[in-house]
Amino acid sequence: MALADLDGLPTKIAAGIVKKIGRLEAGLHGDIKRLKEHDRAYRLRMGDYRVLFEVEGQTITICRVKHRREAYD
């Protein structure tokens, strides 16, 4: 799902999001918040877009990349 979400975005925005996702390897730093409804779910903010992901141990799973209007539906 996340790859399809990225494919639908303008190239410049998608490239910025991919860069921020790559930085997650160094740790959960930056504009990241834990989502209240889920124990392992987080969001990363990139302008008007949100990267929704889960963390389990050392594994980060990117679930969705959506505009902020649609991210939490």
What domains appear along the chain, each with residue ranges and CATH number? Answer: 2-67 (3.30.2310.20)
16-47 exposure pattern, b = at least 16 Cβ within 10 A, e = fewer: ebeebbeebeeeeeeebeeeeeeeebbbbebe
What is the pLDDT tens value at each position of the chain, 73 positions in all? 899 999 999 999 999 999 999 999 899 998 999 999 888 999 999 999 999 999 999 999 999 999 999 998 8
Contact between 13 and 65 under an 8 Å Cβ cutoff? The reply is no
Contacts of 7 (CB under 8 A, 6+ apart): 14
Contact 13, 47 (CB under 8 A): yes
Q: What is the pLDDT of residue 38?
A: 84
Amino acid of residue 3: L
